[in-house]
Structure 1
């Protein structure tokens, strides 16, 4: 499914899904600045937390839609995010942790980032099925079983057959 395959209503929904989280993040930022710099009182920081909560949920819908429309791109984003998260966990957080509780949370964070990495590889694998030129190289790289082209069925009433390269081959005289 590509973005060009979407109807006008679906494209409008897609644009809404992209713009609403950005607007919610802008509103969250304005509320946060108002709370800290201008002394606004929105029941403490609950207003900011609630708007950030809604922004996160809407961003989840945007990423889900992106996964459905461009799965290979989404898988690449997941891989990049997982690598950044692994780097942060190992090189920033791990040297600072000394207690067992910090080490356990760091290991849990590393496990979560490895899960995101594996999901990114899976989404990339699923998304690359639409790209016939890249797929054999990807399958070779990931040590996956290379699929042989399916043979074209030969019926008794046909005198010609197509081989794997697409050329017609005569069967009988």
Structure 2
């Protein structure tokens, strides 16, 4: 049942990120964009301490590539790198507070955007100012992503309190000795 919920969550977040939330919300001249795939991925990174969020990011990013991108791999690679970086960052944290969650949200969004810019630059696009994009679009969106991650983390942690959503404990070969 856990994987069914993750698949449905991935499909819905990919569809909503690519359609309803794909345009920027122009609040006070800031191009704020809400990325639901990144929010759910980072929420899963905070709740689970295994590789499932990275696989979730890769598969949902691949779905985004198939549906909305002309280049296969731009979303998948960006989401996967951001999930892996966030997973490494929170791996050793036993307990964390809301500032840690906010920082993971901001950092994950910035890593994703920088990775996308690097891929676009490697494909030959030379007509963009990275500093302007970072200050005007990425940082306000990252702050909103960090704030919304607090809510997403709360919802995902409430969902994971159900026994059918928790990952099973892996059996180790030394357990039977």
TM interval, shorter chain, is under 0.3
TM-score, normalised by the number of residues in structure 1: 0.26
Question: Taking CA–CA contacts closer than 8 Å with sequence separation of 6 or more, which of the two structures ends up with the larger relative contact order?
Answer: 2
TM-score, normalised by the number of residues in structure 2: 0.25
